[in-house]
Amino acid sequence: MNIGRAAEASGVSAKMIRYYEDIGLIEKPARTAAGYRRYSEAEVNTLSFIRRARNLGFSVEEIRALLALWRDRSRASSDVKALAMKHIADLNTRIAELKEMADTLDHLARNCHGDDRPHCPILESLAAPVIGETQPREGQPPEA
Amino acid sequence: MNIGRAAEASGVSAKMIRYYEDIGLIEKPARTAAGYRRYSEAEVNTLSFIRRARNLGFSVEEIRALLALWRDRSRASSDVKALAMKHIADLNTRIAELKEMADTLDHLARNCHGDDRPHCPILESLAAPVIGETQPREGQPPEA
DNA sequence: ATGGGGCTTCCAACGGTAGGAAGGTCAAGG
DNA sequence: CCTTGACCTTCCTACCGTTGGAAGCCCCAT
């Protein structure tokens, strides 16, 4: 199977297949006499595995570990689970960060009239965060 | 004020200040005779503005637009609000994506014993997604 | 004047992905 | 046999934002 077919079958672009080979995530495949990469079903399975893991947000390094566990028939499922739990925690951290951004911005946007007048709490907050009730006379833009 | 002081005062690293200058996000500052960058209070305010906007997840290009609005005293607050709302939508999209990853993985991890035995639904799911109830005989790792 | 810290510029790396250029190969149809 | 077009090869570039380092200059204190 050529790289184009393998890409189609696995859902990993040919570009990325070459990249994964380059960084040693996958083994170097066999080559035809002309130098074309040839992929077996098993290799396409590996690529699909990688794609699904990426879809779950695993980093390439995490996938490297997952692949090692996958190939190790005598692995302990606790090792896999630990990796997954760690990743879930990472995801939740990022979710919390994004959520805090969205909430903060949502709060500011809610207090913004959104009309044709210039007054805008969003810009004011960026210019200087609100401290208590008083608006300190700071945060004027330059060249204004 | 030297770049180091400006970095300290604004919370933007000296490296990033130079980068922002390089990409034209901020104006080129005055220089001392020796070529050192000199920053005014107003310029530090701009840097703080940028830092806060980055903390809210705005991209550099979005910040470019925000800065333009900030400097435009006759802006319409609706323009700022539209930008913010768009960004909130982007954040919510990313949150939803991450949440789906976390939920999927959480579901898999919940079904994983996490003991010293090799059986593991997480790896099985990566090897081949579950279709209905039947487990197709696919997704074996290579060289196994 | 010597040392240490700050400043300057320039170059590279990170993680993943995508785009393109220049050239070789394969299969089909004339 | 030859052409055409789709595919493959390698190599270089860019994206985004941030960090690190090297080599060299500048400023201040001892």
Query: Scanning every residue of chain A, which has its alpha carbon at the shortest distance from the alpha carbon of B96?
Result: A95
Blockwise average pLDDT, block size 10, chain B, 144 residues: 96 97 96 96 97 97 97 95 96 96 96 94 89 50 52
Q: What is the reported pLDDT for B106?
A: 96
Q: Residues A48, A84: one domain? A: no
Q: Which residue has the higher pLDDT, A130 or A10?
A: A10
Joined together, the tokens standing for residue A120 give: 């805008």
Q: Residues B49, B91: one domain? A: no
Which residues fall inside 7 Å of strand D, measured at CB? A 2-5, 14, 18, 35-37; B 13, 15-16, 19, 32-36, 54, 59-61
Joined together, the tokens standing for residue B19 give: 């980068």
Distance CA A110, CA B100 (A): 27
Cβ pair A112:B80 closer than 8 A: yes
Query: Which among B29, B42, B138 has a CA at the least distance from the CA of A42?
Result: B138
Residue B120 CB: number of other CB atoms within 10 A? 27
Q: In which region does residue A132 sit, left (phi positive, over 0), alpha (psi from -120 to 50) or beta (all else)?
A: left
Whether A66 is in a domain gets the answer no
Whether A52 is in a domain gets the answer yes
Interface test with B, best of A85, A123, A124 (most B CBs within 10 A): A123
Q: Residues B50, B91: one domain? A: no
Q: Which residues on chain A are in Cβ contact (under 8 Å) with B102? A: 88, 91-92, 95
Inter-CA distances, A22 with A17, A46, B142, B144, Å? 9, 15, 19, 22
Whether A33 is in a domain gets the answer yes
Whether A124 is in a domain gets the answer yes
- Binned at pLDDT 50, 70 and 90, residue A136 comes out as very low
- Binned at pLDDT 50, 70 and 90, residue A135 comes out as very low
Q: Residues A52, A2: one domain? A: yes
CATH number at residue B22: 1.10.1660.10
| Chain A span 1-40 residues with beta carbon within 7 Å of strand C | 13, 15-16, 19, 32-36
Whether A69 is in a domain gets the answer no
Distance CA A8, CA A14 (A): 9
Whether A139 is in a domain gets the answer no
Q: Between helices B60-71 and B77-110, what is the axis angle to 10°?
A: 150
Joined together, the tokens standing for residue B33 give: 């005779």
Query: Domain span at residue A52?
Result: 1-58
Cβ pair B57:A101 closer than 8 A: yes
Distance CA B98, CA A52 (A): 14
What's the sign of the alpha-carbon dihedral A113, A118, A123, A125?
negative
- Which residues make beta-bridge pairs with B84? none
Q: Residues A9, A48: one domain? A: yes
Q: How many domains does chain B have?
A: 2
Whether A65 is in a domain gets the answer no
Residue range A81-109, pLDDT digits in tens: 999 999 999 999 999 999 999 999 999 99
Q: Residues A12, A53: one domain? A: yes
- Residue A138 pLDDT greater than 80, yes or no: no
Query: Cα B45 vs. chain centroid, distance in angstroms?
Result: 22
